[in-house]
Amino acid sequence: MGLLLSYLGGLFGGRKGPEGERNLRANDRPHNLSYQYANNAIKTSKYNVLTFLPLNLFEQFQRLANAYFLFLFILQLIPEISSLSWFTTVVPLVLVLSITAVKDASDDINRHKSDKQVNNRKVDILINGEIRSEKWMNVQVGDIIKLENNQFVTADLLLLSSSEPLNLVYIETAELDGETNLKVKQALTTTGEMGDSIEALARFNGEVRCEPPNNRLDKFKGTLTANGQTYSLDNDKILLRGCTLRNTEWCFGLVIFGGPDTKLMQNCGKTIFKRTSIDHLMNVLVLCIFGFLACMCSILAVGNAIWEVKEGSVFTAFLPRPPGVNAAFSAFLTFWSYVIILNTVVPISLYVSVEIIRLGNSFYIDWDRKMYYSKNDTPAQARTTTLNEELGQIKYIFSDKTGTLTQNIMAFNKCSIGGKSYGEVTDFSGQRVEITEKTEKVDFKWNSLADPKFVFHDHSLVETVREGNPEAQAFFRLLALCHTVMPEEKTEGELFYQAQSPDEGALVTAARNFGFVFRSRTPESITVVEMGKQVTYELLAVLDFNNVRKRMSVIVRGPEGNLRLYCKGADTIVYERLHPSCCKLMEVTTEHLNEYAGDGLRTLALAYKDLDESYMEEWRKRHHQASTAMDDREERLDQLYEEIEKDLLLLGATAVEDKLQDGVPQTIQKLAKADIKIWVLTGDKQETAENIGYSCNMLREEMKDIFVIAANTAEGVKQELQKARRKMCPGSSDEPTVIKARAGLFWRLKTETVEDEVVDEEYGLVINGHSLAYALEKGLQLELLRTACMCQTVICCRVTPLQKAQVVELVKKYKQAVTLAIGDGANDVSMIKAAHIGVGISGQEGMQAVLSSDYSFAQFRYLQRLLLVHGRWSYLRMCKFLRYFFYKNFTFTFVHFWYGFFCGFSAQTVYDEWFITLYNLVYTALPVLGMSLFDQDVNDRWSFQFPQLYSPGQLNLYFSKKAFIRCMMHSCYSSLILFFIPWGAMYDTVRDDGKDIVDYQSFALLAQTCLLIAVNIQLCLDTHYWTAVNQFFVWGSLSAYFAITFTMYSNGMFLIFTSSFPFIGTARNSLNQPNVWLTILLTSILCALPVVAFRFLLIQLWPTVNDKMRHKVRKEGEPAPVRPTHIRRRISRRSGYAFSHAQGYGNLVTSTKFLLKRPIKSRLALFPQTDSPLSQNQPQLYRTIAEESEEPQST
């Protein structure tokens, strides 16, 4: 009954207006249904069986061209003005509508299948005091549902209870943000006490008041009222739809948002119909063509009126006019007759051909083996067929970081211990050897507790540790003790670490493999297996990390009773607290840190200090007083931490690699050479983003300066931006130069373009989320844009999904440049949809970005092939196609126009009616498609080797309004040749046997034959890359023309269909005359000769980059294959501390409650599906324990 009420409410009532606040009650469907909240069913399809035909036709006739051809068809049904049969328009129109309808139906059927699959998933719901298995689509707001390990989260839930201690659950958010390390959520204590008691959960009637549905993934505000108490709710207590429950046996949740109201679906939004800049230009050109067509028809109509007055009266004796028809009315009818005849200036076959070309170029992307990622069996996919040529015009790329540029995998790479660096591999002569997959790995079989997935190549470090080197052992002992990792041991020796950050997990795993295995912990102790011997340390204090301290410390008592403080943190912070005796070691370690930073590694310095028992006792008392103080607690604790963390002794430094995807630096280097600007928009902290910027070769030492915008006020942001701009361009004006113009259909769209300012050096810009929020305000937008566009690289840190979209929209609005956004999570969806082109990274991360994208592939490095090869070729082919198509059709039409002056403006056609019908559909269709599908100026290797070939697309050099006007002028010249040369050659002539005088039909045949051969010669001149298919199409089309012509002009066709084939015998009578073939030869030469001469002069005097490259290709042949190179960054400037640790978890791991577990039957494996991509990552992935509150998550 509830489902029926929900359905009827959605059908007839629906919620009126935007929802102000959500109010729901647990286990009370009637109450919740009264608010008419959406259920959990999703619908992404557009049509159903009844609405498909009317809706699809309505959408298609919104296209100007389709509506125009429908209008022409109606005109052709009027006998008084129709000089062509109706089938010449209706056949191609029906063909176009059918092809588009089939394509739209196919896409929508796939959406229906996807919706059905998701809606029919099963989940356990608590209904009337018992657990029932129901479909997802039947879940309602206010229901309590049960989730089990590895299940998808059904809807947006308030977490009530779980099988884990402290009511924690671990979730994988790959669908939302692309991150595969697990995150933690925690239920309220009051609801967690219900556990898995069905009776208690069924009695639960708590009321939730919260914010209305929105797309903010990182924030939630609400309250829960239960048992007379009100509790605050935040994002840490909410499980979002699209997440996956991991390493948690079960949990119960209360449905807050369902289906279209969930944050996942709110981020998806409506599908935006994207159109290329060529599409927009085509709309303007088609409008201009309509105006030009009206002008031609008006000229011919006026000519008809004049002719009727002066000459027509002579013929009225034997050709009387119909009653009521005078010269003026005759001119009116003639106008519409010529509208029908001259409609080939915009043939409907143009749109059919464009769709076929785009479809073909999309298949090339799908079939490209060089964009296939075999590891995950993931091919590249063109998810739309309408944007291919736009890929050849990209000027700005906006990229996510985590999972897009990086693999989201941390690996312990190198370390410095006691002044010696480890991690490099050298040959017998001491020279450094580059590490590859074939490099011999260290064998850790001697350590039974080692992680088999851990990879290290420097054997000397193992030998140093095993020999008992005290510094090396102290180094790894520190890594095994100083952290907030939680261990989990399912079976003897099978350890899993729940790490708050993946880099902390990597350090603990490194210690584990080198013989210092973190085994277990209690709130008061840490147990470590040191070189096979189990040792328990008493944990006295955890000096927690925060963003100001940039370090964490632990104080432990060893088995011998000695007290020691272990500290790890940013090298600059730790160095300030070292004992003066460490000066020499600090210098050597600094050199190593510079080298590690040069390789883009994330570094930490490690130090320790022995403590006095009496001092420690006194310090602990003061620590207790500070931690229980009501006022200035944080400040007092910080003073105590500062006091004890001094005079430290340096042990060394670690270097963890946030692994980039393969080929990222090389790809960015190639794209930069193509004059494409790359902006990184990430939710990560500034230090991490800068590190990746250096690793990717976006930030470089040779840059003159890298500006960091980190002000916390609007005025401060403005001053910093202006200071940076004036340093880059001292002569720049205070106000930007904004060019205002009009564009679009009927020039209704107002555009504002901020001009680029010339900068001599290379600069970089880093801006954080707080500053970006101020910079995106209306008063500072242009200042941000001016400063950012002067820089070669822009990195925006700590940005929200909304800010990502705002940055993209800002560049689109004021730069009028083609943009591309690439990401892998749901937090990138808004950016992907805002950009002209959206690219999703598919593979081990979430698929939400892929589902919203226009193109998808598995690795960032494939972007260079997508743009520099497929995009450039698609743009080149489409521009060639349009130039040629307009040329051949304007030439065809202009011949009609000239003929009007010699036929009394009677709207008689110069060609045979069947030739008019088949000209675009048969005779010229395949050759131009062959060129548009196979042509290429240079092959893919040369395209990679010279990215500068990409720049013409960014500047719209191949097809523009100027190029269109040149096509018209060329067509006008060709049409004059193609009409007047045959007319002069045939005028008052007879056959060579003197039998017949040349008639209209013979002239029509000669004119159309000359036209067809001339446009084919032009096609051959435009084709750079010949294949067997091109040859077959060109010669096959000419052969088909002559075969069809002889057949249609034969006696048999005339006898069977007398009225339809009146040109009996014309072909055999005309084409056996030498003067006919000489005329064809003369017109062909006169049409082609100026083109050849003009192009020769252009290449000799003003060669383009493509001309130079084609000359180089002919001269050198194939380029040598480019070997992949390792881009190594050597800089004196160390990148900042980068450790994605969050504050506050130190108190949690020392809490007594943390290790209290309710009885459970058995613990499920973290990765029960051993064939899943997640379980096979190298090295091991780590789970995140806590998130920073009120901060956007890393992307």
Q: State the catalytic residues.
A: 400
Distances from the Cα of 927 to the Cαs of 354, 895, 921, 1028, in angstroms?
14, 22, 11, 12
The β-bridge partners of 351 are none
Is there a contact between 246 and 170 (Cβ–Cβ < 8 Å)? yes
Per-residue tokens: 546: 């925060």
**Which stretches within 488-632 are classed as H helix?**
502-513, 571-575, 583-598, 613-627
3-state class (DSSP) for residue 961? helix
Sign, CA dihedral 144-146-151-157, equals: positive
Distance CA 1183, CA 972 (A): 70
Kindly compute the dihedral angle of the four CA atoms of residues 336, 341, 345, 347, in this order, to the nearest 10 degrees. 110
Kindly report whether the peptide bond that precedes residue 982 is cis, defined as omega within 30 degrees of 0.
Answer: no
Burial class (CB within 10 angstroms; exposed 0-12, middle 13-18, buried 19+) of 160: buried
Kind of pairing between the strands at 122-127 and 130-135: antiparallel
Within a 10 A sphere around the Cβ of 1044, how many other Cβ atoms? 15
Contact residues for 1130 (Cβ-Cβ < 8 A; gap 6+): 598, 701
Distance CA 518, CA 793 (A): 42
Which residue type sits at 866? L
Cα 304 versus chain centre, distance: 57
Query: For residue 162, which of 183, 191, 134, 203 has the smallest C-alpha distance?
Result: 191
Query: For residue 98, which of 70, 47, 56, 39 has the smallest C-alpha distance?
Result: 56
Query: For residue 781, which of 808, 762, 799, 757 has the smallest C-alpha distance?
Result: 808
End-to-end CA separation in angstroms for the chain: 43
Q: What one-character DSSP code corresponds to residue 512?
A: H
Distances from the Cα of 247 to the Cαs of 307, 404, 1148, 1153, in angstroms?
90, 26, 19, 19
Query: For residue 806, which of 842, 824, 780, 840 has the smallest C-alpha distance?
Result: 780
Per-residue tokens: 441: 């790995």
Distance CA 163, CA 1132 (A): 51
Kind of pairing between the strands at 763-767 and 394-399: unpaired
Distance CA 708, CA 710 (A): 6
Distance CA 819, CA 802 (A): 17
Distance CA 14, CA 38 (A): 9
Per-residue tokens: 554: 């632990």
Kindly compute the dihedral angle of the four CA atoms of residues 282, 287, 291, 296, in this order, to the nearest 10 degrees. 40
Contact residues for 261 (Cβ-Cβ < 8 A; gap 6+): 37, 38, 156, 213
Give the CA count within 13 Å in the CB-facing half-sphere of 699. Answer: 28
Q: What is the largest CA-CA distance in the chain?
A: 133
Distance CA 548, CA 644 (A): 17
The β-bridge partners of 533 are 530
